[in-house]
Structure 1
Amino acid sequence: MSIKLSPLNDVQLKALEQLTQGIQPEQAIWLNGYFQGLAGAVSTGLTKTQTSQGLVSAKAVDKFPLTILYGTHTGRSQALAKALCEQARAQNITCLLKPMDDYKPKQLKEEKNLLVIVSTHGEGEPPEMAEEFYEFITGKRAPKLNGLNYAVLALGDKSYKLFCQTGIEIKQALQKAGAKELVPLVKCDVDYEDDAAQWTQNVLAALGKLQPQAPVSTAPSADKSSEVVYSKKNPFRTTVLDKVRITGRDSDKEVYHLEFALEGSGISYEPGDALGVIAQNPPQLVKEIIKSLGVIDTEVVETRVGKLSFNEALEHHYEITLLTRDLIQKYAEKTQNKKVKAIVESDEKLDQYLYGHDVLDLLQEFPARLTATEFLELLRPLPPRLYSISSSQKAVEDEVHITVSRVRYENKGRQRYGACSTFLADRLEVDDQVLIYIDKNPNFRLAENGKPIIMVGAGTGIAPYRAFLQERESGNQKGKSWLFFGERRFSSDFLYQLEWQKYLQKGYLEKIDLAFSRDQKEKVYVQHKLKEQQGELFRWLEDGASFYLCGDMKYMAKDVQITLLDIIKTQGGMTDKKARAYFKKLKKEKRFMADVY
């Protein structure tokens, strides 16, 4: 609705503008529910005094039961679920909020209304906390649920083949069990906020129809803090304090250590969190795409964020360095190109084409006449890139550090560049500015009180462990700690070598095992080092150690988990079934934590 058509007066409009400036997604979702309740109060004849003071008692009607379950790897599903639960309670709904690993699936038979918010991890796998619930509801033991109302919000990433698969399969299982769907399943890509807000609005409206005479609760108290909250939608403009290449000249990798200023921001973070960086696409790639399309770079186009020049839209707001299945499918439908359709219809051909290709490949190999607007409609928003934070705020105070590997390779005679890594490595210098925010990761936290920790990482997967040991040094905690690190060559790729030596000397790091794969004829990886130390490693686990894993999801992380399971089986003298139960127990106790990408 335009301002001219708004029923609000000037004072109200100004207050609304102040209220929504810099608002976070979960806050927007909460306000949406509150205003829905307020509208309901007006339509049922409640006075302003009754609404603001909450004089209509919740006892006037029976409490309306609702259970919200969430399964998350990064914490996003948890934040959405928490915001939704608060809104539901504001509408006099008795809301039970539970992580999936703290919920007994057999209780499903007793539920009346169930909302599920769940992410998909890796190639169609449920996040660790959702595994038990997922296996139950999709398995043979799932009960009949004819009296249950449900809705599912699925979070995922369209760059993966099985997009939102966990949410889809849970929805299908609930449907098969006879439950009634309140609102259709919504599948969210990495830019999930708007879709999640719409789903929340629809869910609350559907619940409201089941509870037509629900009174409105007390209005929310005013926010006591006037501080700006920084987020993906409202990032902080920071200054680069330092940038250093930390791989040697002989290395075939370029890894950089970057430090950013946080002074005056009020931003706080913990070891295990990630730094979100607002990426910028390679300018050369933008130019070549515009040339291939044959449009004018300064042409003004309508985008998700308003009217922009085509050049600016491509450089700052749309994903062009990566291809997704969704994009190729849209391109096939738009162009009706038979060769593109053949790729889409074959999983094998699609997987091959997705690897190492970008949007320009699609335009050059399967040309089509598209306007600037038509082209943008095919693309997804350019998501921020997340980097594991490699510093402890207790140690560096008003700074945040990250470790970045520059992505650059050649394919079909053309150089390819990572959107954010080359922006940080090639185009950003000390004193330049960049937009950032903190992405919380409650599922990758340093064990408290100096308890034993085993840290396994390869390449830039070492980053969070630098934060862990900075944190322990700041608190003078010299508990047992063991680092397994893998890279290519000792002489050029031993990231933060001097720091690890310092921690060993001071006693903050007790043991270190290194795997440099190219320093000998036969390649040696971190899983081989784990195997070599399996006896002592298992004793550490038995003594309560937490096991951390950070690195490449597709290969390294899978190999490490297979090795760890085998160590548990061998050293514990267990059957395969008991070893898997032991491993599952580690996960449930938050003593196995993974941060993989």
Structure 2
Amino acid sequence: MFKKILFQLHWFFGITAGLILSIMGVTGAIYSYEQPIQKWLNPDSYTVQVENRAKLTPAEIYQHFQITQPKIKINSITIHQAPDASSSINIEKEGARKGFNVMINPYSAEILPEVKGREFFQFIQQLHRNLTVGPVGKQITAACTLILIYFILSGLYLRWPKKHSFKQWFSIKPKLKGRNFLWDLHAVVGTWVVIFYLLLAVTGLYWSYDWWRNGMFKVLGVDRPQPEMQANAGKAKQTEQMRGAGTSAEQVRGEKTTSANAEGHGKGREQSKLDSKQIALAYTQTWTGFHAQLKQDYSSITLSTPKKADGTMDVSFVDAIPQHERARNKAIYNYQNNQIEKIELYADKKLNEKIMSSMLPVHRGSFFGPVYQFLVMLAALSMPLFFVTGWMLYLKRRKQKQLTLAARHHTAIIDVDPHATPWLISYASQTGVSEQLTWRTATNLQAARQPVTVKALQHLTIEDLQNCPQILFIVSTYGTGEAPDLAITFVKKIMPHSFDLKHLKYAVLALGSKEYPETYCSFGHWLDTWLQQNQAQAMFNTIEVDNANAADIEKWTTALAKISKLELSHMHIEKVFDEWTFKKRELLNPNSLGGPVFNLEFHTVHEVVWQAGDIAEIQPGNSLERILAFLDKYHIASNTPVNELNLTIQQALWNRNLTVEVEPFANMQHLLEQLPILPTREYSIASIPEQQVLRLVVRQQSDTDGNLGLGSGWLTQHTQVSEQIAMRIRTNPSFHLINDNRPIICIGNGTGIAGLMSLIHARVRLNYTENWLIFGERQQAHDFFFKETLEAWQTTGMLKRLDLAFSRDQAEKNYVHHKLHEQQDLLKTWITQGAVIYVCGSIQGMASDVDHALVEILGETQLNQLRENGRYKRDVY
């Protein structure tokens, strides 16, 4: 219960205070590099041409301005040792509590160009400290800083694992997807920055609350100079009220903001009791005498104009190599007695005194050196990452019931058994499932201290086969029983040959779908046969997996554990669906000779990201009539409760396979255990996220008895508009759009227009016009899907070519592969220009015919090269 309360508070504060902390993080990161950024932006203000003479002394600079601009009241003069560094004067100016810095040429005292960016950094500073809304904003940022400390402590406690592993805590697992990846990114990066955030929060509160500041002084054992501070503050306020108007903007080139170089000057300077000649003499004597008595180098020195006729001048200087930008040494020089009365060296201070006198450098990280400051800056810039990922996790948490806990720790490897035989795992994947299972298998073996290497099948070489002692193959079947597209290279270059593989032990996990019984797992069996023909030794018989079925995957884990005598964890691919609202259903081909095709649109309230070419996976369900018929068959009342699910049996049966044989059951839970979940259905997405809608193009399918197909029936008839459906986005990297403006050639038929429309939509938004679409259907009058959009793209030049093949509009049927032959010269020209080919639609007929046509036009060698180079991509079904 305690942990649950901590978690609830953690996410609640995250979605409320997270935005403010993100603003504070980004602005703090920018402000921490104010000085180097300003020097980079204003080289003419901070550097000068070196001249073959000495720099002007403070006295000469003072006298110069007394002559040229006598109204300017100089608080201090700073001289830098570097020959090309400018000098500066700090002058009194209305509204500038610590004075105003003016950059001057150290050889001529000429005022240098205005420093750009001061107003910007003043705004950034105010945004960081109080959101630019004064005391109220200061209280908000202070409260959020306290919340940051809670985030740090509660986050560490919530993440504390049962088993401690360095990689578990600090390693990002890029193979994770969806919510698991977001959680990993949030938690692991949070662990990286926890020390930085803790120090930022603890030091940031120094300026927020007096009680916190007093506590810091007490904890570090440093006396707080409170009375002096209060006295100076009161004196400054009184002086501000008594002082007249300051120097005009024209006299100082319109400068409006303060600078850190003004440190060391008093607040609210009183009217000088010395005349200009006495001040010039004080500057001369101090400059000469202090240099003679100071026994160390410095990078810059600041002399403050004396305000009292007591014969002393305040001097501050920075070491030649300072610890940080505010590590200043202070001294009082008596120019009448020609001696240093008091000197306070920063290097001589104790660590606790250094910390309390340098809180800003400690806060921004420069106190600990430039490397640490850079890391602090990166940590501060990453603050929005936690706000964004936290929000996404919160939104997904409301939709998801269970998480794959093992996926959070997949790459946790303690060490490797030096005596273990290395494993090579090779995968062939079209849509990513085989690859996902490969990485889970790899991390499972790694957790058992096994050395593992992973390679895609297309990268597997003859040397790998000849040198590796044991290989696991995890391969999908695609199309009409072939290998996935990228694995064609292995099939054509290696499998036609024979090798001596007596030494090789292997196992095959073959993925497929029993809905295609003629080609079920055929590539896996083909690969197994080839390995046996080359005398490789199978560890166990090929294991088949039907649609990522968990029981089939468990057989794989069990077989591996038995043959290797290792303790391996259970693994499965868990599919977590989100709720989407069905918003629109529109018949695209009324009166067509083909089956009805519908444009379907869905909306969701949570954040969803996908790319052009990705796939929507639908969890179909049963119609009410089918559920009631099943209940009537087994004499079950529709409102019978299923206590374990807190549902009625009618509700629980919505996504169950009701066609299987059912044995006598003791209760509703026992009945449900016999009814597997209906298989999912996948559809190419026809839209991109920027359109604010997820669009599918689905054709109704019917069996020989006239019953609608599982997926198409669910989407086109059984589910009503405004109802909820279960859907998840699945990335389809093998069909993703290229990220440059090379030409693309889109080829498809029927509902394959969906995947092609998403690609072209994305290209149009990028203003890439080298797009060619070859599309085929039955009748132009009825089956020209998205005609208005395509013609508009053609008219505006976004679609350079549109070739249509409507097979039933003439006596001799005309298909898309015929269009390829007709335009083969143009096709070769586009390929020469770097074009990428995308094919989307039915594997039966269209995709196979297109493949043959491309072989005839380009040659098999060139087509294979295009495939290997990612320039021939297919999404066919």
Cα 1:283–1:191, aligned 2, differ >3 Å: closer, same or farther? farther
Structure 1 equivalent of residue 734 of structure 2? 443
Q: Contact 1:300/1:307 (CA < 8 Å) preserved in 2? A: no
Match for residue 724 of structure 2 among 433, 437, 453? 433
Aligned pairs for 1:232-247 (under 5 A) are: 233-247=575-589
Tell me how large the CA RMSD over aligned residues is. Answer: 3.8
Cα 1:319–1:563, aligned 2, differ >3 Å: closer, same or farther? farther
Residue deviations 1:469-503 (CA, integer Å, cap 9, x gap): 2212222223x110011111112211111111222
User: Is 1:549 aligned to 2:839, yes or no?
Assistant: yes
Cα 1:74–1:585, aligned 2, differ >3 Å: closer, same or farther? same
Q: Contact 1:137/1:170 (CA < 8 Å) preserved in 2? A: no
Q: Contact 1:151/1:184 (CA < 8 Å) preserved in 2? A: yes
User: Is 1:403 aligned to 2:658, yes or no?
Assistant: no
Q: Contact 1:128/1:587 (CA < 8 Å) preserved in 2? A: yes
Structure 2 equivalent of residue 527 of structure 1? 817
| Cα drift, residue 191 of structure 1 | 3.9
In 2, Cα distance between the equivalents of 1:71 and 1:319? 34
Cα 1:129–1:306, aligned 2, differ >3 Å: closer, same or farther? farther
In structure 2, the residue corresponding to 1:234 is in which secondary structure?
coil
User: Is 1:262 aligned to 2:604, yes or no?
Assistant: yes
Q: Contact 1:67/1:115 (CA < 8 Å) preserved in 2? A: yes
| Cα drift, residue 94 of structure 1 | 3.0
Number of equivalences: 477
Structure 1 equivalent of residue 756 of structure 2? 465
In 2, Cα distance between the equivalents of 1:63 and 1:296? 58
Aligned pairs for 1:300-311 (under 5 A) are: none
Match for residue 526 of structure 2 among 169, 176, 182? 169
In 2, Cα distance between the equivalents of 1:250 and 1:138? 45
User: Is 1:276 aligned to 2:617, yes or no?
Assistant: yes
Q: Partner amino acid for 1:155?
A: L
Cα 1:403–1:188, aligned 2, differ >3 Å: closer, same or farther? same
Q: Contact 1:489/1:518 (CA < 8 Å) preserved in 2? A: yes
Aligned pairs for 1:195-274 (under 5 A) are: 195-200=552-557, 202-203=559-560, 206-207=563-564, 209=566, 233-248=575-590, 252-264=594-606, 266-274=607-615
In structure 2, the residue corresponding to 1:238 is in which secondary structure?
strand
User: Is 1:487 aligned to 2:777, yes or no?
Assistant: yes
Aligned pairs for 1:303-342 (under 5 A) are: 315-318=654-657
User: Is 1:193 aligned to 2:534, yes or no?
Assistant: no
| Cα drift, residue 270 of structure 1 | 1.1
Aligned pairs for 1:286-301 (under 5 A) are: 294-296=633-635, 298=637
Match for residue 446 of structure 2 among 82, 89, 101? 89
| Cα drift, residue 429 of structure 1 | 3.2
| Cα drift, residue 29 of structure 1 | 6.7
In 2, Cα distance between the equivalents of 1:140 and 1:425? 49
User: In terms of Rg, which structure is larger?
Assistant: 2
Q: Contact 1:109/1:144 (CA < 8 Å) preserved in 2? A: yes
Q: Partner amino acid for 2:873?
A: M
In structure 2, the residue corresponding to 1:88 is in which secondary structure?
helix
Cα 1:298–1:170, aligned 2, differ >3 Å: closer, same or farther? farther
User: Is 1:387 aligned to 2:683, yes or no?
Assistant: yes
Unaligned runs of 5+ in 1: 1-10, 38-53, 215-230, 321-326, 332-368, 569-578
Q: Contact 1:239/1:434 (CA < 8 Å) preserved in 2? A: yes
In 2, Cα distance between the equivalents of 1:191 and 1:503? 40
| Cα drift, residue 274 of structure 1 | 0.7
Cα 1:193–1:24, aligned 2, differ >3 Å: closer, same or farther? farther
Cα 1:133–1:145, aligned 2, differ >3 Å: closer, same or farther? farther
| Cα drift, residue 370 of structure 1 | 7.7
In 1, Cα distance between the equivalents of 2:409 and 2:476? 24
In structure 1, the residue corresponding to 2:838 is in which secondary structure?
strand
Structure 1 equivalent of residue 437 of structure 2? 80
Structure 1 equivalent of residue 52 of structure 2? none
In 1, Cα distance between the equivalents of 2:800 and 2:579? 39
Residue deviations 1:415-466 (CA, integer Å, cap 9, x gap): 3211221221123333211000012211111122021111111111000111
Residue identity over aligned pairs, in percent, reads 28
In 1, Cα distance between the equivalents of 2:650 and 2:583? 29
| Cα drift, residue 77 of structure 1 | 0.5
Cα 1:32–1:474, aligned 2, differ >3 Å: closer, same or farther? closer
Q: Contact 2:480/2:843 (CA < 8 Å) preserved in 1? A: no
Residue deviations 1:10-43 (CA, integer Å, cap 9, x gap): x99xx99x99975566x64786997xx8xxxxxx
Residue deviations 1:490-544 (CA, integer Å, cap 9, x gap): 1221111111122222322110001112222222211121121111112212222
Greater shift, 378-387 or 102-111, is seen at 378-387
Residue deviations 1:297-324 (CA, integer Å, cap 9, x gap): 55999x9x9899886676522275xxxx
In structure 1, the residue corresponding to 2:585 is in which secondary structure?
strand
Q: Partner amino acid for 1:387?
A: Y
Cα 1:251–1:503, aligned 2, differ >3 Å: closer, same or farther? same
Structure 2 equivalent of residue 418 of structure 1? 709
Q: Contact 1:24/1:233 (CA < 8 Å) preserved in 2? A: no
Aligned pairs for 1:79-118 (under 5 A) are: 79-118=436-475
TM norm structure 1: 0.70
In 1, Cα distance between the equivalents of 2:605 and 2:671? 40
Cα 1:545–1:319, aligned 2, differ >3 Å: closer, same or farther? farther
Match for residue 122 of structure 1 among 479, 486, 505? 479
Q: Contact 1:279/1:419 (CA < 8 Å) preserved in 2? A: yes
| Cα drift, residue 163 of structure 1 | 1.6
In structure 1, the residue corresponding to 2:422 is in which secondary structure?
strand
Match for residue 159 of structure 1 among 501, 512, 515? 515
Q: Contact 1:282/1:419 (CA < 8 Å) preserved in 2? A: no
Aligned pairs for 1:347-362 (under 5 A) are: none
In structure 1, the residue corresponding to 2:706 is in which secondary structure?
strand
Residue deviations 1:538-586 (CA, integer Å, cap 9, x gap): 2212222111111111122112212222222xxxxxxxxxx22222112
TM norm structure 2: 0.49
Q: Contact 1:486/1:516 (CA < 8 Å) preserved in 2? A: yes
In 2, Cα distance between the equivalents of 1:430 and 1:286? 20
Match for residue 867 of structure 2 among 559, 562, 587? 587
In 2, Cα distance between the equivalents of 1:388 and 1:401? 9
Unaligned runs of 5+ in 2: 1-156, 163-179, 184-396
Q: Contact 1:276/1:385 (CA < 8 Å) preserved in 2? A: yes
Q: Contact 1:120/1:165 (CA < 8 Å) preserved in 2? A: yes
User: Is 1:537 aligned to 2:814, yes or no?
Assistant: no
Cα 1:143–1:416, aligned 2, differ >3 Å: closer, same or farther? same
Q: Contact 1:105/1:133 (CA < 8 Å) preserved in 2? A: no
Q: Contact 2:628/2:638 (CA < 8 Å) preserved in 1? A: no
Residue deviations 1:107-141 (CA, integer Å, cap 9, x gap): 20100221110011233322222234345665442
Q: Partner amino acid for 2:468?
A: E
Residue deviations 1:382-408 (CA, integer Å, cap 9, x gap): 211101001112x224x3221111224
Greater shift, 554-563 or 60-69, is seen at 60-69
